Amino acid sequence: MKITNSVLSNVGAGHATVYDRVAARQPRPARFVGPLVPPFFKAESLQKVTLRDGVISKPELPHGKLTPMRAVLQRVTSSRVEVNGEPVGEIGTGLLVLLGVARDDEPEDADYLSDKIVNLRIFADEEGKMNRSLVEIGGAMLAVSQFTLYGDTKKGRRPSFVEAAPPEKANSLYQYFVGRVRTLGVKVETGVFQAMMKVTLTNDGPVTILIDSKKPS
């Protein structure tokens, strides 16, 4: 387990209480980076961790506690994205994918989503049934980064986006996702990260599907 962005208190001989977020899935040596928790972390996402004689213990997270990477898929006959009135990405038949990256996400989340999306059978076969994948029809993907997928409207009238990853991490995983899809044999067009974009599409069906990445229970 990796400890990051931690706040230490009650430091004594061989014992300390740490509040942190879970930042990795694989067991790793404890490591402390920085004295403060960044402001985009919610208090609810912090967990109490006890270190005693070098042994780390903490309760298991409930299922769904970590926010997954999120993608909205729209089956299209055409889609286009413009920045400042100029086209930067355009496809014909395929998928428009709005991709949201959460603060807890890792490359494994992008691996799962890329594999799932390109092999999801949501295109019609000869009988008109949803039985063919993006790969099977030779379709393309237009991938657009979309942090607003994490808009939380439970309180007040202005959405909160604290679950979204900070820009540097979000862009890194967005680019990783795009590269991963390309290695799977799909042509990918993109928007421009953090730019004000105009996205147009012709939704075929309409068919719109929300997919979350796998997370440990």
Tell me whether residue 148 is one of the annotated catalytic residues: yes
204: which 2 tokens?
């075929």
The count of residues in the chain is 217
67, 74, 123, 146: the catalytic one is 146
67, 74, 147, 190: the catalytic one is 147
148, 194, 200, 208: the catalytic one is 148
Tell me whether residue 175 is one of the annotated catalytic residues: no
Active site residues: 146-148
